[in-house]
């Protein structure tokens, strides 16, 4: 049986591998807020259980078994985020921390009931895809809003960040997944973007803009 800590490591490793091609000790430690030495120890244990592949100094990869488990945890997490947001009105900048604690104590039965109550959603409040029960995750090809040309109109697809302050800020601007935005101007050298959304115009700094992924409008992702 897997401990909560182990489940969490697998989830973190999965999320790192979504962006980087190697999940290194320090990335894992950084993401979890623990010491690198602790990660080394756990990573060995998980490798012994054939959930990850690990060669010293090389970072880790998920095995198929490890990825399966990671996807189950991610499903729990993202379903919970969606449920908390939709059913209980928890603001989107706080669902992450709540789900982090709940995800490890959610039974399969409850998972099914929550999914059913939501109508089997496939994206969470941040626009991240929710893996299906059998571990299939529907990826949409998105691009950063920073790569959008001036004058183009796009739809926010995903804001994949756990920083509550950023989410609160974007929430105040109504920049949720599904929102349509027009890029009015881009300042040179990673400068801020001038956007129009919901009839209002505002600028967005590079740091915030980097977290926002978009799709061309009416491109499927609701």
Please, how many CA atoms are within 13 Å of residue 31, restricted to the half-sphere of its CB?
21
> What is the C-alpha separation between 58 and 66, in angstroms, rounded?
17
- For residue 23, the SS3 value is strand
Interface with DNA includes 36 (CB under 7 A)?
Answer: yes
How many residues line the site for DNA (CB under 7 A)?
A: 27
Interface with DNA includes 12 (CB under 7 A)?
Answer: no
CB-count exposure of residue 25 (10 Å: 0-12, 13-18, 19+)? buried
Task: Determine the interface stretch with DNA among 23-31, 80-88, 141-149, 182-190 (rule: CB under 7 A).
Answer: 23-31
Question: What is the smallest separation between the CB atom of 34 and DNA, expressed in angstroms?
Answer: 3
Question: What is the smallest separation between the CB atom of 135 and its own copies, expressed in angstroms?
Answer: 23
Question: What is the smallest separation between the CB atom of 117 and its own copies, expressed in angstroms?
Answer: 6
Question: Looking at 20, 35, 87, 138, which residue binds DNA (CB under 7 A)?
Answer: 35
Residue 113 touches which of its own copies, DNA, none (Cβ within 5-8 Å per kind): its own copies
Residue 87 touches which of DNA, its own copies, none (Cβ within 5-8 Å per kind): its own copies
> What is the C-alpha separation between 180 and 198, in angstroms, rounded?
7
Task: State the chain's maximal CA–CA distance in angstroms.
Answer: 56
Residue 39 touches which of its own copies, DNA, none (Cβ within 5-8 Å per kind): DNA
CB-count exposure of residue 100 (10 Å: 0-12, 13-18, 19+)? middle
Please, how many CA atoms are within 13 Å of residue 17, restricted to the half-sphere of its CB?
19
Residue 90 touches which of its own copies, DNA, none (Cβ within 5-8 Å per kind): its own copies
Contact between residue 124 and residue 81 where contact means Cβ atoms under 8 Å apart: yes
Per-residue x/- track, 51-80, DNA (CB under 7 A): ---x-xxxx---------------------
E strands in 34-141: 52-54, 60-62
Question: What is the smallest separation between the CB atom of 99 and its own copies, expressed in angstroms?
Answer: 10
> What is the C-alpha separation between 178 and 169, in angstroms, rounded?
17
| Helices vs. strands in the chain: H and E counts, helices first | 8, 8
Binding site for its own copies (CB under 8 A): 84, 87-90, 94, 98, 101-102, 105, 107, 109-110, 113-114, 117
Encoded tokens for 167: 């989410």
Task: Determine the interface stretch with DNA among 4-12, 115-123, 127-135, 153-161 (rule: CB under 7 A).
Answer: 4-12
Interface with DNA includes 26 (CB under 7 A)?
Answer: yes
- The residues binding DNA (CB under 7 A) are 3-6, 24-27, 32-45, 54, 56-59
């Amino acid at each position: 049986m897997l401990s909560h800590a182990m489940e969490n490591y697998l989830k973190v490793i999965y999320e790192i591998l979504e962006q980087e091609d190697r999940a290194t000790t320090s990335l894992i430690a950084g993401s979890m807020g623990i010491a690198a030495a602790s990660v080394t120890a756990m990573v060995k244990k998980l490798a012994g259980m054939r959930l990850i592949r690990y060669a010293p100094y090389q970072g880790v990869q998920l095995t198929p078994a490890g990825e399966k488990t990671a996807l189950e945890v991610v499903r729990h997490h993202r379903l919970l985020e969606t449920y908390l947001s939709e059913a209980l009105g928890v603001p989107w900048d706080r669902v992450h921390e709540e789900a982090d604690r709940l995800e490890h104590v959610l039974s399969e039965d409850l998972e099914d009931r929550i999914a059913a109550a939501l109508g089997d959603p496939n994206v969470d409040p941040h626009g991240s895809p929710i893996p299906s029960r059998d571990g299939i995750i529907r990826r949409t090809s998105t691009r950063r809003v920073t790569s959008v040309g001036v004058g183009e109109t796009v739809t926010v697809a995903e804001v994949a960040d756990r920083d509550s302050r950023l989410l609160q800020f974007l929430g105040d601007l109504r920049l949720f997944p599904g929102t349509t935005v027009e890029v009015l101007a881009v300042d040179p050298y990673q400068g801020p973007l001038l956007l129009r959304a919901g009839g209002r115009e505002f600028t967005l700094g590079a740091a915030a803009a980097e977290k926002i992924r978009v799709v061309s409008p009416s491109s499927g992702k609701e």
